[in-house]
Amino acid sequence: MKIIKATDKKAAESFLAKLEKRARGGNEAVVRTVSGILEDVRRRGDRALKKYTLRFDGHEKTTLSAAEIEKIAAKAEPSLVKALKFSANRVRAFHKRQVQRSWFFEERGIKLGQIIRPLERVGVYVPGGKASYPSSVLMNVIPAQVAGVREVALVVPAPGLAFNPAVMAAVRMLGVKEVYPVGGAQAVAALAYGTESIRRVDKITGPGNIYVATAKRLVFGEVDIDMIAGPSEILVIADSSAPPSFVAADLLSQAEHDELASAILVTDSAELAAQVQKELKMQLGRLSRSGIAKVSLARFGAVFLVEDMKEAAGIANTIAPEHLEVMTKNPEDLLKEIRNAGAVFLGRWSPEPLGDYAAGPNHTLPTGGTARFSSPLGVYDFLKHTSYLRFSREGFERIASQVEEVAGAEGLSAHKNAVSIRRKGF
């Protein structure tokens, strides 16, 4: 990891520009490939879906029966199933606090409000190739269920028809009935447009590779999507009180995801920075994914040396990381300075992996600086809001003249007339 002094504006700006370029991701070749797949599935339905599933995953199976799900799920280790149940209960309890209700208020002759309803049908993409995560099932399905979504269709690639039993155990645990062993852009197309075997959905959520992310971006408008998820990110703000081994371990927890992951330390202690560098080297040797972590640290890892914690918060707000850890003597004191982060983990006993699995908040977080304007996945993502308006004649008369005035100023005579015709006594 390179060390950058915050006072070295040129070095800092160069690194931040590299992060921004990485976040944009994608390229024209990927867009062309994905666009072709989307159009093919839109036109030819299951025939195209089976063609791409055979090409990329080596089979043409597009559905799983309840018996097949049960058989695969039964192979999961009991201890893991127990851990998943523990996590599911915590995730559900947290998300129940996000439930929204329809609301109304009345004034003289006027009743206004919002009708809040769940989406009818949602598609969840769960990775199933190089990365296969049962936690993704929990984090995407549970908030949909808490919101009241009636139908959840889950797609998961199964190369060579090999399934992760833990993923299916999570599926069985949550009672998901529709599971389709398809992935990639073709699975996104099936969810967005519908095929003979997969009915179209209202919204698609869940992480995936660059082809999946590009497909989600291109079908947005046909359906809603949660977000365009980029590579994993962690930024740790630490002072001299932070244990170097903790800081290094937490940086590596994200660096091991993939070669594009970013792991950044921001500190006012040069001594801590040096100790963390040593710890990284020692801990890397013990990791099963050390090769990936080494590449990500070399490409998108950095240590920012700052004068004080306020400057550290400024860097964090500029980067707007997916995960932000504050490992300082008094972490709550710095919280008021933090404006942009997907999730904030305060104190040395709040490592990021707790949030990935069992803390309760959703681990689907904004990446690539989008925490400046977006939020973690939640129950609110599976709700739609309809405005409610009811006027009596008295209420109508109270605002009619003002509506006529504004409609007339905008040159919309039919708008004005729809009010004026009622004022004439009809």
Query: Where would I find the H helices in 343-412?
Result: 352-357, 393-409
C-beta of residue 231 within 8 angstroms of C-beta of residue 262: yes
- What the block records as the tokens of 60 is 């043409």
| Catalytic annotation present for 322 | yes
Taking the C-alpha atoms of residue 194 and residue 167, their distance in angstroms, rounded to an integer, is 24
- What the block records as the tokens of 394 is 């008295």
- Residue keyed to tokens 């994200």: 254
Taking the C-alpha atoms of residue 230 and residue 210, their distance in angstroms, rounded to an integer, is 8
- What the block records as the tokens of 207 is 């992480």
- Identify the sign of the CA torsion 328, 251, 205, 134: negative
Q: Which of 95, 323, 352, 363 is catalytic?
A: 323
Q: Which residue from 97, 115, 113, 117 is spatially nearest to 105, judged by alpha carbons?
A: 113
Taking the C-alpha atoms of residue 176 and residue 157, their distance in angstroms, rounded to an integer, is 16
Q: Which of 256, 322, 325, 352 is catalytic?
A: 322
C-beta of residue 183 within 8 angstroms of C-beta of residue 59: no
Phi, psi of 103 (to 5 degrees): -140, 150
Q: Which residue from 364, 363, 370 is spatially nearest to 320, judged by alpha carbons?
A: 370
| Catalytic annotation present for 107 | no
Show which residues are catalytic.
322-323
